[in-house]
Amino acid sequence: MKDIKLTQVVNCAGCAGKLPPKFLSDAVHGIDWYSNQNVIQAMENNEDAGVFKINETESLIQTTDFFTPVVDDPFTYGQIAAANALSDIYAMGAKPLSALNLVCYSEDLGPEILKEILRGGNDKAKEADCPILGGHSVKAPELKYGMAITGIAQTNKIKYNSGAKVGDILILTKALGTGILNTAIKRSQLSPSTMKTLIESMAGLNKKAAEIMIKYDTNASTDVTGFSLVGHGMEMAKSSNTDLLIDTSTLPVLPDVLQAIKDGFVTGGDKNNRIYTDGHYQVSDNVSSQMQNICFDPQTSGGLLLSVSKKDAQNLLKELQDVCQFVKIIGEVTESKNNQNLVHLV
């Protein structure tokens, strides 16, 4: 296998390479998307996946995600890309059924690197009990890998980002800062110990967290990925017609993120996410610029953001702590004045 650093053959790493959300929103706006009586959820509310009713009690959950390498090791890259794609299914409280591989690849890299990427994806699919049925590949100058996933759920138990209620407690299941640290990897400036923690986080499935949260009175759920904590929080606030109050002092943050920010390792996605959420966030004077960078940082294979009733919050947190190293209560859902749907960073 060729000795190639995958992060050096692409321009952007992971979810930081997504199209700017404002650009994407402008592109899809105004199209009369075809639908039928079986479609429960499609393009509305920026949900994590589409929902298609297949019988009186069950629905298919469908999503896709792919991105450029965030690490140099191809097997690990495959694991992270698969975990990230599966995350949308778990965010909806669903079980994955099957997957299809999506590959953009240059033959110049050789077949062995691609084989290792696919092995990594298969490893995570196996952990998720999600068979890979095939896929599609195209020749491309920039490497990308991911999956299209089909899941299933009881229709009346599906979790959306639109159900948050005033008084709910907000729980985040993974630590923040992956985009910043991935930039440090691309510039060969990350310590081995921090890289190990980062990889464990990104390659970790949200499977167990999803299985736990559906047992409780979880009113809304989304996964925190490329649009950042503020971006995905804004989508939850808007679709639920609430505000979110986030206590930044409680946010779980990966090791060495603050130092990486000081060293200048902030992605272009930070700026794009601020543009996307413009007018829908407020920042208290006590919140440092570094903490703001963390809140707007595009996450790769991030955690679940849960809005859970106050009566269940502590029991849910306690059970999540057995499977999620960095899980924290990070704030609460509050009433939205004048329908502004703000994310307050305090």
Domains of the chain: 6-157 (3.30.1330.10), 169-345 (3.90.650.10)
Q: Among 12, 15, 295, 324, which one carries the catalytic annotation?
A: 15
**13 φ/ψ angles, rounded to the nearest 5 degrees:** -105, 125
CA neighbours within 13 Å on the CB side: how many for 171?
Answer: 32
**277 φ/ψ angles, rounded to the nearest 5 degrees:** -100, 5
pLDDT at 257: 97
Arithmetic mean of pLDDT over the chain:
93
Task: Compute how many other C-beta atoms are within 10 angstroms of the C-beta atom of residue 345.
Answer: 24
Cβ burial, residue 106 (10 Å; 0-12/13-18/19+): middle
pLDDT at 33: 85
Mean pLDDT of 251-257: 97
CB contact at 8 A, 150 and 98: yes
CB contact at 8 A, 150 and 68: no
Which ranges in 92-144 belong to alpha helices (H)?
Answer: 111-127
DSSP letter for 39, please.
E
Of the listed ranges 11-25, 90-104, 136-150, the least confidently predicted one is 11-25
Alpha carbon distance 10, 81 (integer Å): 15
pTM: 0.93
Mean pLDDT of 82-97: 97
Q: What is the number of residues in the chain?
A: 346
Alpha carbon distance 177, 198 (integer Å): 9
pLDDT at 298: 94
Residue 12 a catalytic site member? no
User: pLDDT tens for residues 119-131?
Assistant: 999 999 999 999 9
Alpha carbon distance 274, 21 (integer Å): 10
Alpha carbon distance 272, 264 (integer Å): 17
Cβ burial, residue 207 (10 Å; 0-12/13-18/19+): buried
Mean pLDDT of 209-229: 96
Q: Please check the confidence at residue 9 and state whether its pLDDT lies above 80.
A: no
Alpha carbon distance 195, 92 (integer Å): 29
Q: How far, in Å, are 24, 178, 324, 336, 343 from residue 229 at the CA level?
A: 18, 12, 18, 18, 10
Kind of pairing between the strands at 169-172 and 328-334:
antiparallel
Kind of pairing between the strands at 144-154 and 169-172:
unpaired
